[in-house]
Amino acid sequence: MTTTDELIANAARYADSFDKGDLPLPPARQVAVVACMDARLNPYGLLGLSEGDAHVIRNAGGVVTADQLRSLAISQRLLGTTEIILIHHTDCGMLTFTDDAFKAGIQAETGQKPAWAAEAFTDLDEDVRQSIRRIQADPFIPVKDSVRGFVYDVHTGKLHEVK
């Protein structure tokens, strides 16, 4: 039995007690969260989110690249969100390597160098600011009055806002 099989069995139990079948498509809290994919960062527990509340967008680092700008444009333009919350976190894997070394390793193994930037970073707060700036500079995201960035401490559970 694979881990996937075990998680699918969990999903069957979730369905057995499911009582949220009438929720509307647009997020009730009108907020979109962009967070790192890190296993220790649970946006539902952390922010007190329930089914139906918020869009949750996640990737390696919680960095804003073209696909997050696409998702945010869809979130605001089609589904009415108006606030954006960015969350990076301490002890992030993205602090442990450089783009150059990571991509050189892949090239040595596969013969090809990825066409994407790995988006590794060395300063958490500064990378949050970088992601905020990419949103502020984007011409397709209409509502930018509340774009706020945070760093989550995986050892204490605390969130601090990046100014």
Restricted to residues 92-131, the positions that interact with a second copy (CB under 8 A) are 93-94, 96-97, 102, 105-106, 110, 112, 114-119
Q: Does 39 bind a second copy (CB under 8 A)?
A: yes
Does residue 38 have a known ligand-binding role? yes
Q: Which of 1, 23, 129, 163 forms a contact with a second copy (CB under 8 A)?
A: 23
Q: How many residues bind a second copy (CB under 8 A)?
A: 90
Q: Does 132 bind a second copy (CB under 8 A)?
A: no
Q: Site for a second copy (CB under 8 A): which residue of 31, 128, 132, 135?
A: 31
**With binding defined as CB under 8 A, does residue 42 bind a second copy?**
yes
Are the C-beta atoms of 125 and 151 separated by less than 8 Å?
yes
Please, what is the angle between helix 124-137 and helix 66-79, to 10°?
50
- SS3 call for 118: coil
Q: Is 36 annotated as a binding residue?
A: yes
Q: Binding to a second copy (CB under 8 A): which residues in 52-91?
A: 52-60, 65-71, 73-75, 77-79, 83, 85, 91
CA neighbours closer than 13 Å in the CB half-sphere of residue 77:
10
Is residue 72 within 8 Å of 32, Cβ to Cβ?
A: yes
155 assigned binding-site residue: no
Q: Which residues contact 32 (CB under 8 A, 6 or more apart)?
A: 54, 55, 56, 57, 71, 72, 75, 76, 81, 83, 84, 85
Annotated binding site for Zn(2+): 36, 38, 89, 92
Annotated binding site: 36, 38, 89, 92
